[in-house]
Amino acid sequence: MPPTARPRQPGRRLSRLVNIGIPYLWLGIFFLLPFVIVLQISLAEPRLAQPPYTALAEWLGDGVLSIRLDLQNYLLVLSDDIYLAAFMNSLKVAFFCTLLCLLIGYPMAYAIATAPSRWRIPLLMLIILPFWTSFLIRVYAWIGILQTSGFLNNFLLWLGLIDEPLAILYTQTAIYIGIVYSYLPFMILPLYANLTRLDRTLLEAAADLGCRPFRAFVRVTLPLSRAGIIAGCMLVFIPVVGEFVIPDLLGGPDTLMVGRMLWTEFFSNVDWPLASALAILLLGLLVIPFVLMQRWQLAAEDPDR
């Protein structure tokens, strides 16, 4: 017997078109297409005009199309130590900040997840609340704390721990403090979400089988929270590599980070092609952790797959 055709559902077709089509189109135009343009401009030459770059393709008359791809921007970035140093430093800062966030965030997420249930939501709200206030202002608050005549130095002087103020602001240390402070909630939230789903009877079973609490944590809790750890780390690592505001406000003039470099090339030096090349390289650097995150996220959403 031939299978009957699935009944036509014009409503569903329309729903498909609207629900998928409209956001897809929006993201295609305003998120994907711009990268193509960045790539294109990263291959152009800078010039003093508006816009400040040369066209890649030009009609030279007589039907001759001239396409000039200029790899000079990439060569410059790859050959000049200062750019390389900026990339390396960004990766280093992002790595250590992620590690610090994990070391502080994991116990906090664990403490919240294992707190009595009526405390969990308020404790979690307290983590989220600063996230709702302005990022810029929270970074600003640290200037007042870390500067030479700031609270921290005053406090340490008053305690008698130091004799003269420490120079913390405008150093790499200040950047670490600022980043860990700003990105901590991004680490705690996925970890918390993961740890609350953990079945507590598993730990009881481990204890029943003679496993001491610490070993049970290492053998049971930690492996089961792997998805949360990866999500949290990626949510911190990826944006921090390209962070601009924190290094700019808390770091010194000698602190090199890619995001800041890109900003400088773009706004101060008006070298759009070079800024674009930096953006493309940064993007290339972040693709790997991003794909990893995506894969882990899918696996966590649908464990049967």
Partner 1 sequence: MSVAIDRRALEPWQDPSAVPFVRIERVTKQFGDIYAVDDVSLSIFQGEFFSLLGSSGCGKSTLLRLLAGLDYPSSGRIFIDGADVTDIPPYQRPVNMMFQSYALFPHMTVEQNVEFGLEQERMPRRERAERVGEMLDLLKIGELRKRKPDQLSGGQRQRAALARSLAKHPKLLLLDEPLGALDKRLRENTQFELVNLQERIGTTFVTVTHDQEEAMTMSSRIAVMEAGRILQIDTPTGIYEFPSNRFVAEFIGSVNLFEGRVMQRDGDLVTVETRLGRPIQMRCPLPLALGKPVTIAIRPEKIRLSAAYRDDAVNQIRGTVEDIAYLGDVSIYHVRISPDQVTRMTLANIQPQTEQELTWGQEVAMEWSPTSGVVLTD
Partner 2 sequence: MRRGRWPLFTILAFGYAFLYIPVALLVIFSFNESRLVTVWSGFSTKWYAELFRNQQLLEAAWLSIRIAAVNATFAVLLGTLSANALVRHRRFRGRGGFELLLTAPLVMPDVIIGLSLLLLFVALQQGIGWPDGRGFTTITIAHITFSLAYVAVVVRARLSQLDRSLEEAAMDLGARPLTVYLRITLPLIAPALLSGWLLAFTLSLDDLVVASFVSGPGSTTLPMVIYASVRMGVSPQINALATLIMLFVALAVVVASLALRSQAKDRGHRTNARR
- Using CB under 8 A as the binding rule, the residues of this chain from 2 to 21 that contact partner 1 are 2-4, 6-7, 9
The total of other beta-carbon atoms located within 10 Å of residue 173's CB is 15
Q: Which is nearer to partner 1, 5 or 209 (CB)?
A: 5
The piece of 75-83, 159-167, 218-226, 290-298 that touches partner 2 (CB under 8 A) is 290-298
SS3 53: strand
CB 183 within 8 Å of CB 240: yes
142 near partner 2 (CB under 8 A): yes
Map tokens 């007042």 to a residue: 144
CA angle at residue 207 from 204 to 211, to 5 degrees?
A: 145
CB 278 within 8 Å of CB 223: no
Q: Which is nearer to partner 2, 172 or 272 (CB)?
A: 272
266 near partner 2 (CB under 8 A): yes
Binding-site partner at residue 2 among partner 1, partner 2, none, CB < 5 to 8 Å by type: partner 1
Crossing angle of the two packed helices 81-114 and 72-79, in degrees rounded to 10: 70
Alpha-carbon distance values, 29 to 21, 81, 163, 228 (Å): 12, 35, 58, 32
Binding-site partner at residue 1 among partner 2, partner 1, none, CB < 5 to 8 Å by type: partner 1
Report how far Cα 7 is from the mean position of its chain's Cα atoms. Answer: 46
Binding-site partner at residue 266 among partner 1, partner 2, none, CB < 5 to 8 Å by type: partner 2
210 near partner 1 (CB under 8 A): no
63 near partner 1 (CB under 8 A): no
Residue selected from 176, 290, 296, 300 as contacting partner 2 according to rule CB under 8 A: 290
22 near partner 2 (CB under 8 A): yes
Q: Which is nearer to partner 1, 2 or 284 (CB)?
A: 2
86-115: buried (b, 16+ CB within 10 Å) or exposed (e) per residue?
A: bbebbbebbeebbebbbeebbebbbebbee
Q: Which is nearer to partner 2, 1 or 7 (CB)?
A: 7
Q: Which is nearer to partner 1, 5 or 161 (CB)?
A: 5
Binding site for partner 1 (CB under 8 A): 1-4, 6-7, 9
